[in-house]
Structure 1
Amino acid sequence: MDLLLTYDVDTTTPEGARRLRRVAKLCEGYGLRVQKSVFEIVADEKNTLQLLARIDAIIDTNLDSIRLYRLPHNGLADVQTRGTARPQPHRDDLVI
């Protein structure tokens, strides 16, 4: 499934700054960063549930906000961009 994940982590304390780094690093393991706090992710249901459980273990639910949007099938292939934004190759072969 195609997902759009956004987050807003309160960074007014050192603990908040640590949570922000941890959430960002976690999301980098699941998808492509398209803006500072926005990730496009292609995942199955199992990986989506795993990601959400790991986020729940990091964030402070009284201060931080996570939003996960489930997009239509192949929704990431139909993204319109402006400015410096470029479509991302979510399903292309990876070269390692």
Structure 2
Amino acid sequence: MNAFGAEDEEYYFQIAENLEDDRQFILIIYDIVDNKRRTKFAKLLEGYGTRVQKSAFEAMLSQKSYEKLVREIPHYINPASGEDSVRIYRMIGKGRVKSWGDIPKQQEEIVVV
């Protein structure tokens, strides 16, 4: 923790510099007005990454997974309403993230057979 009460986290936004691993750090933030569509969209994003805020997810995605996600997004938003928005940030290289507070822990589903 630094003097400002923030946690310093160092991220390497590109996992490897070789061609075998094309994963990139992705930040997805969204504002979807309709509760049902917003819940479905959050479920979609849980399949790709980790929720870090109510409307923000972080993920490490390959180019193929990133393109698949981009194709799926239009099914969850209503651009005609003028109220829904989704932003995706692709980050490559080395970066530093400052964070205050905890990231909510995801509860894993346990299935007993």
Question: So what's the TM-score if we normalise by structure 1?
Answer: 0.73
Say yes or no: does 1:17 pair with 2:35.
Answer: yes
Q: Which amino acid aligns with 1:18?
A: K
Percent identity of paired positions between Structure 1 and Structure 2: 38
Question: Hey, what's the Cα distance between the residues in 2 that align with 1:74 and 1:23?
Answer: 29
Q: Which has the higher strand share?
A: 2
Corresponding residue number in structure 2 for 1:3:
26
**Aligned positions, number:** 79
User: Alignment partner of 1:39: what SS?
Assistant: strand
Say yes or no: does 1:48 pair with 2:78.
Answer: no
Q: Could you say which structure has the larger radius of gyration?
A: 2
> Which ranges of structure 2 fall in alignment gaps of 5 or more residues?
1-23, 105-113
Question: Hey, what's the Cα distance between the residues in 2 that align with 1:20 and 1:55?
Answer: 11
Q: Which has the higher helix share?
A: 1
Question: Hey, what's the Cα distance between the residues in 2 that align with 1:38 and 1:17?
Answer: 16
Corresponding residue number in structure 1 for 2:84:
64
User: Alignment partner of 2:75: what SS?
Assistant: helix
What's the CA shift for 1:43?
0.3
After the TM superposition, which parts of structure 1 deviate over 2 Å for at least 4 consecutive aligned residues?
A: 72-75, 83-86
> Which ranges of structure 1 fall in alignment gaps of 5 or more residues?
11-15, 87-96
RMSD: 1.7
Question: So what's the TM-score if we normalise by structure 2?
Answer: 0.63
